[in-house]
Amino acid sequence: MGPIDKSAVQAALDRFLNREVYLHLETTNGAYAVHFHESKMTVGAYIRNGRISFSRGLIAGDGPYRVGLKLELGWVYAEGLTDFEVDKEDRLLLAGHDEMGRLAVALELSASPFEI
């Protein structure tokens, strides 16, 4: 995984258009955010293996980046994305890392289910 190449990410998003794909989407400020006084709230959410199909998928911004996926009945959105990888299984992995290299947000797409 390395810094986002916007055109490579856009090309990868295009490959997932208009087909059923598996989504991993998450954001977190860490399980110890309150304990270590980094924040007043510990906040996180994730969905693993959401099944979606999108008719528009774009990456936007100049870094950190945003991604929006337009669904028949809604949207998938993530911001703060800094790094990407298309892995050997052709999955698109996008993540936003903070100054400590800690993952703060992730959006991933795969043609087959992610491991659980």
Partner 1 sequence: MERHVLVVLPHPDDETFGCGGTIALFARSGVPVTYVCGTLGEMGRNMGKPFFATRESLPHVREAELAEACEVLGIKQLIKLGLRDKTIEFEDPERVADRLEQIMREIRPSLVITHYPGYAVHPDHNAFGAITMRAVARLAQNERPKVWAHGFANLAQADLGPQDIVNDISEVAEIKLAAVRAHGSQSQVMIFRGGGNQNAMPEDLVNRFLKRESFWTYRF
Q: Which is nearer to partner 1, 72 or 99 (CB)?
A: 99
Cβ at position 28, least distance to partner 1 in Å: 5
What is the contact surface with partner 1 in residues (CB under 8 A)? 1, 24, 26, 28, 30-32, 35, 44, 46, 85, 87, 91, 93, 95, 97, 100-104, 106, 108, 114-116
Q: Which is nearer to partner 1, 12 or 108 (CB)?
A: 108
Cβ at position 67, least distance to partner 1 in Å: 15
Q: CB-based contacts of 36: which residues, under 8 Å, 6+ apart?
A: 30
Q: Which is nearer to partner 1, 45 or 73 (CB)?
A: 45
Q: Which is nearer to partner 1, 13 or 106 (CB)?
A: 106
